[in-house]
Structure 1
Amino acid sequence: MRREFFADARVVFDPRIADADPLESSRWEDMRREFFADARVVFDPRIAVTAPFNAEDPLNVPVSVDASALPGVDEVIVFADFNPIVKVLGFEPFDAAPTLGFRLKLQQSSPVRAAARTADGVWHVGGAWVRTHGGGCTLPSAGSSSPLWQQHLNRVSARLWPGVGHGERLRLRVIHPMDTGLAPGIPAFHIEELAVADAAGKALVRIRAYEPVSENPVFTLDLRPGAADAGPLRISGRDNNGNRIDAQVQR
């Protein structure tokens, strides 16, 4: 029953849906208090979270979030109930679809959830259980042991191609160790913010990343048709040590 609640995208949303967590997590009430305070929260099958049922590599668990079936999404956050650092990332789809693909680290088996906030202040929550042997958050990154990573830190590689609905799909990769600070002797070192804008400076999407995002993160997002002008896209951001990210994506 847990998987069926979120797997069938044809389910019709019922605003009277029960408050009981469909993933039956013992930490759901903690998550509700931490992220939503007094805001209204509903479990909504229109928020699709796709992830492997069994993740072999806890350092690189592929996840995709799709809230495009829900109109008027202003913000999306992603979190994992049983991670030592539960918040994974957030993004604001200014002129992009409310969809995002990425990879995260899991310390143990956990629900991975996405919550989308609409203009009326309601949070719509979907999710999926991911089972793993764990340890992903307390292991050092491969980059932290390499003498070469400093030469390539925050280097961006990206690609654009036609996406769904005649918009554009953007996939970008940033070289960064994304250390959680939970491995002995290795401080937290991670990207904090990543923004995509068109050549005129119009913001298209902003991503706020936290420690559980995987090393050398790859993000896949969909720009709306006509969202950007014909010039190059600009990728900008920073990490928690103040190092800047600045790149262009040519069409």
Structure 2
Amino acid sequence: MTSLLLIAAALAPVAATPLPADPLQSPMWEFIADQVFGDNAVVRFDPRVKVSFPEIAENQRVFPVQVDARAIPDVVRVVIIADLNPIQLPIDFRPAAAEAFVATRIKLDQRTPVRGAVQLKDGSWLVSGGWIDAAGGGCSAPPVSRVKGDWAQHLGEVRGRLWTGADGARLRLAFRHPMDTGLVDKISAYYIDDLKLRTADGRALGEVKMQAAVAEDPVLTLMPKVRAGDTVVFAGRDTNGIDYAGSVAAIADTTGQ
């Protein structure tokens, strides 16, 4: 009898963790939670996840978003979410020796909640964000470089700067790439999808997974834990197998910016 009770207990379904009500009342909240956080994750809304973006999307193809969760300990993952985009998870950052901070520019296909979410070491998630009004078509319009026809001439170019200041180091990388969504007629999806960062002596700084909802010619700003004189080495690849690699040496910021 005892064995049968143990077997029955093992086979009993585990109750799902209740999902909190969405303060933004997004029609996609439950779907987003299932896709990003998983079935049984603990999810809480927390204003310490500071999500910054303009009040108005002046250009739905290039919309700046910053997620700053430096006030939260034990962050292992930082994501940017655009609920009503056809491609909803433009950035997935796994910091190692880096702050829980990421800034970039994304495409918006319509009015949508834009969120930042961070995962902690215990597997739970903290979320914040807000609604943004945007004209349609950010994900379904052809990139400017495709219209000009000069995208192939600049493919693979990277510019970078790494500077240190009173609030830590900042790394900015700018890539030339069309970041095609696959939603434009006769243009297949084509984008940078993986970027790894380390110091010159091999210390892992973090990894960024990108999707095509990141704006054309993507720009990333991260905060690696390095000092003046250190060098950050980056290595990435796009979905056609083209490699991006280089290094940036840290310099002291004397401007106070």
- Partners in 2 of 1:193 and 1:44 — Cα distance? 28
Identity of counterpart residues, as a percentage?
41
Q: Please say if 1:169 is aligned against 2:176.
A: no
Q: Please say if 1:73 is aligned against 2:72.
A: no
1:132 shift after superposition: 0.7
- Partners in 1 of 2:82 and 2:205 — Cα distance? 26
- Select between 34-43 and 174-183 the one with higher mean Cα deviation: 34-43
1:129 shift after superposition: 1.1
Tell me the matched-pair count. 231
When the two structures are superposed, what TM-score results if normalisation uses the length of structure 2?
0.85
Unaligned runs of 5+ in 2: 1-18, 251-257
1:228 shift after superposition: 6.0
Give the match for residue 6 of structure 1: none
2:88 to 63, 79, 86: 86
- Partners in 2 of 1:194 and 1:145 — Cα distance? 27
When the two structures are superposed, what TM-score results if normalisation uses the length of structure 1?
0.87
Kept in 2: contact 1:76–1:90 (CA 8 A): yes
Give the match for residue 29 of structure 1: 30
1:154 shift after superposition: 2.1
- Match of 1:54, SS state, is coil
Kept in 1: contact 2:169–2:227 (CA 8 A): no
Kept in 2: contact 1:234–1:248 (CA 8 A): yes
Matches within 5 A, 1:85-164: 85-164=87-166
- Partners in 2 of 1:49 and 1:202 — Cα distance? 28
1:231 shift after superposition: 4.2
1:144 shift after superposition: 2.2
Residue-by-residue CA offset, 1:86-117 (whole Å, 9 max, x unaligned): 11110011111111110000000100111101
- Select between 113-122 and 30-39 the one with higher mean Cα deviation: 30-39
The alignment's C-alpha RMSD in Å is: 1.6
Structure whose alpha-carbon radius of gyration is higher = 2
Unaligned runs of 5+ in 1: 1-17
1:235 shift after superposition: 1.5
Give the match for residue 42 of structure 1: 44
Give the match for residue 203 of structure 2: 202
- Partners in 2 of 1:85 and 1:137 — Cα distance? 8
1:59 to 46, 52, 61: 61
- Partners in 1 of 2:240 and 2:45 — Cα distance? 37
Kept in 1: contact 2:164–2:227 (CA 8 A): no
